């Protein structure tokens, strides 16, 4: 297999570990802290997780550990979308296992949770692991989005654990995947089988975090990748001085990516979905925000700019939210009839009977390309696939219409030429930054230590992340601590609650204090490419979001 010079050099990088994990394993003891309660719905969750609720928060410290050398069979699963650093989680887990006992075995389930259900796996060896250290992607064993939720799937997972004599399974994933991990841990205990379940916090969206999970892995690399691209576009815009760039960024429910990229690059406009939802900002107001910036910059002779848009924002605009909900409800009842219609016009007229006049008027007035996406691009349940809606193009069309009106009124005299972009997949498999390489390796090694301590139903936790890696704190928290009860398909289910952008948090307040200046003036920053070699202040820095959050809430140090 041919490899690049950078990849060859990255193979030699040794990820940094918290000081406690660099001790001899027999000198690393488990310290149990306070018992953990769920963030809400404690009574319901106690009943749901009768065997695994109410466990203590744990850390590792110096002390005696007499059982760490036990031979173990451990399975590992990559679940959900890709995020930079997943391979290093597996490498850290592998190295921990082999350091504990050279005869321990790591089994990689292929294609995500489906591999566990179907007993499809590969034995991960040192030769295999060494080919993937410090690399992006999930290609070592692949990933998948299968959920373990039916009785047959749980039974099949248990049968696989028995066949392979698994001591533990590590599930690397986001909020849904770690919810699955919690349910699987409860199921195994309920069925009196000793396989332990440990989770690891993954998602580039950054919405899996709390006091003990300070960030989800992959976020650091993804936002630095996107910010490089945005900075390049800002530099180009300021050079050509004739284009407005509308850039959609990943972030279905949470806008952490857009917010961090704004802090790193200082665009003229950046929308935050949580603010749109909280303040019930309408389409008209959103277009006003954009056109105000365009007009004021044109008055200064600057007919160019950069606008950031979270991919899920369209779902939070009040009138669009109502339209999408009405479309989803209608398709749930009349989906078969709708699918039999041949043309867009026929489908549009069909909906006139079933959705409100307000929603129908909005749908008719949308650009035809966007309206067709709303009606045609639907998931297997008939719901609108919000991530496929070209929100950036919709905003361009609506802004053009509004500027045309302002030009007729003599208010606007500039030129408005545009480009649209969507940055998503560009960041999911990037070579992990030093921060993510170190953090992920530490998460994997910590997962091994949690297994060696006999724990189940925990998620690996490495915190104090704004300090040098040697000062990081390794431990774990019960998965149930992160959960609440939510309505899913008409049934209340336990799920890990997504961590959204906090409008009273330091990152958003910092952005809010500067955005009016950025809107009018050209203040772009140019972060440049991720640096892997050089001084720590260049190569090892965490995100601005993490620094601001830790500065305002310095807990756990």
Nearest Cα to Cα of residue 474 among 213, 172, 196, 100: 213
**Alpha carbon distance 303, 319 (integer Å):** 30
Q: Output the six-digit token pair for 10.
A: 């990255």
How buried is residue 536: exposed, middle or buried, by Cβ count under 10 Å (0-12/13-18/19+)?
exposed
**Alpha carbon distance 325, 335 (integer Å):** 14
- The distance of Cα 509 from the centroid of its chain, to the nearest Å, equals 22
38 DSSP assignment: P
**Alpha carbon distance 228, 261 (integer Å):** 9
3-state helix, strand, coil in the chain (%, to 5): 45, 15, 35
Q: Which residues are catalytic?
A: 205
Q: Which residue do the tokens 């030769």 mark?
A: 127
79 DSSP assignment: B
> How many Cβ atoms from other residues are within 10 Å of residue 131's Cβ?
14
Nearest Cα to Cα of residue 125 among 144, 110, 142, 103: 103
Which CA distances in Å does 265 have to 365, 387, 543? 34, 23, 12
Q: Is 382 helix (H, G, I), strand (E, B) or coil?
A: coil
Residues 6+ apart with CB under 8 A from 403: 291, 294, 295, 412, 416
User: Which phi and psi (to 5°) does residue 507 adopt?
Assistant: -60, -45
Q: Which helix (DSSP H) or strand (DSSP E) does residue 256 occupy?
A: helix 256-265
Residues 6+ apart with CB under 8 A from 270: 258, 259, 261, 262, 307, 308, 309, 511, 515
In terms of DSSP bridges, do strands 73-78 and 418-423 run parallel, antiparallel, or are they unpaired? unpaired
Q: Which helix (DSSP H) or strand (DSSP E) does residue 421 occupy?
A: strand 418-423
203 DSSP assignment: -
């Amino acid at each position: 297999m041919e490899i690049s010079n950078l990849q060859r050099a990255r193979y030699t990088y040794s990820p940094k570990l918290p000081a406690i994990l660099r001790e001899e394993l027999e000198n690393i003891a488990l310290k149990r802290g306070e018992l953990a309660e769920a963030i809400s719905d404690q009574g319901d969750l106690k009943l749901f997780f009768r065997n695994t609720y109410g466990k203590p928060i744990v850390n590792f410290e110096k002390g005696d550990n007499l059982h760490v050398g036990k031979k173990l069979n451990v399975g590992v699963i990559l679940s959900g979308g890709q995020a930079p650093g997943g391979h290093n989680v597996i490498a850290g887990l592998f190295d921990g296992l082999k350091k504990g006992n050279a005869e321990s075995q790591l089994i990689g389930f292929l294609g995500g949770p489906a591999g566990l259900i179907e007993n499809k796996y590969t034995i991960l060896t040192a030769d295999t692991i060494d080919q993937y250290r410090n690399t992006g992607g999930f290609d070592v064993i692949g990933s998948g989005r299968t959920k373990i939720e039916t009785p047959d799937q749980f039974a099949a997972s248990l049968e696989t654990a028995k066949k392979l004599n698994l001591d533990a399974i590590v599930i690397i994933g986001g909020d849904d995947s770690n919810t699955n991990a919690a349910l699987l841990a409860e199921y195994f205990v309920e069925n009196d089988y000793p396989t332990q379940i440990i989770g690891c916090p993954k998602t580039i969206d950054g919405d899996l975090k709390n006091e003990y999970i300070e960030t989800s892995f992959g976020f650091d690399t993804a936002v630095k990748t996107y910010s490089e691209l945005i900075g390049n576009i800002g530099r180009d815009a300021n050079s050509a001085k004739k284009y407005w760039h509308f850039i959609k960024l990943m972030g279905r429910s949470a806008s952490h990516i857009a917010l961090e990229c704004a802090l790193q690059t200082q665009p003229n406009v950046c929308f935050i979905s949580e603010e749109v939802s909280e303040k019930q900002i309408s389409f008209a107001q959103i277009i006003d925000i954009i056109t105000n910036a365009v007009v004021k910059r044109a008055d200064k002779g600057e007919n160019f700019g950069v606008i950031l848009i979270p991919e899920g924002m369209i779902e939070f605009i009040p009138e669009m939210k109502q339209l999408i909900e009405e479309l989803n409800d209608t398709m749930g009842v009349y989906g078969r009839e709708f699918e039999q219609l041949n043309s867009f016009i026929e489908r549009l007229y069909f909906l006139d009977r079933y959705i409100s006049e307000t929603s129908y008027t909005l749908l008719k007035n949308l650009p035809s390309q966007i309206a067709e996406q709303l009606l045609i691009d639907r998931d297997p349940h008939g719901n609108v696939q919000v991530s496929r809606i070209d929100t950036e193009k919709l905003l361009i069309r609506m802004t053009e219409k509004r500027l045309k009106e302002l030009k007729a009124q003599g208010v606007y005299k500039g030129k408005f030429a545009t480009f649209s972009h969507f940055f998503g997949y560009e960041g999911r498999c990037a070579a992990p930054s030093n921060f993510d390489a170190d953090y992920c390796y530490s998460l994997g090694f910590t997962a091994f230590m949690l297994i060696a301590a006999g724990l189940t139903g925990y998620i690996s936790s490495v915190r104090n992340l704004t300090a040098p890696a040697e000062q990081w704190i390794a431990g774990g928290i019960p998965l149930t601590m992160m959960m609440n009860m939510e309505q899913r398909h008409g049934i209340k289910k336990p799920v890990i609650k997504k961590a959204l952008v906090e409008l009273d948090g330091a990152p958003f307040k910092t952005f809010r204090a500067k955005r009016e200046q950025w809107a009018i003036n050209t203040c772009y920053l140019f972060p440049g490419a991720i640096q892997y070699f050089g001084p720590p202040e260049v190569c090892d820095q965490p995100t601005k979001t993490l620094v601001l959050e830790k500065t305002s809430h310095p807990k756990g140090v």
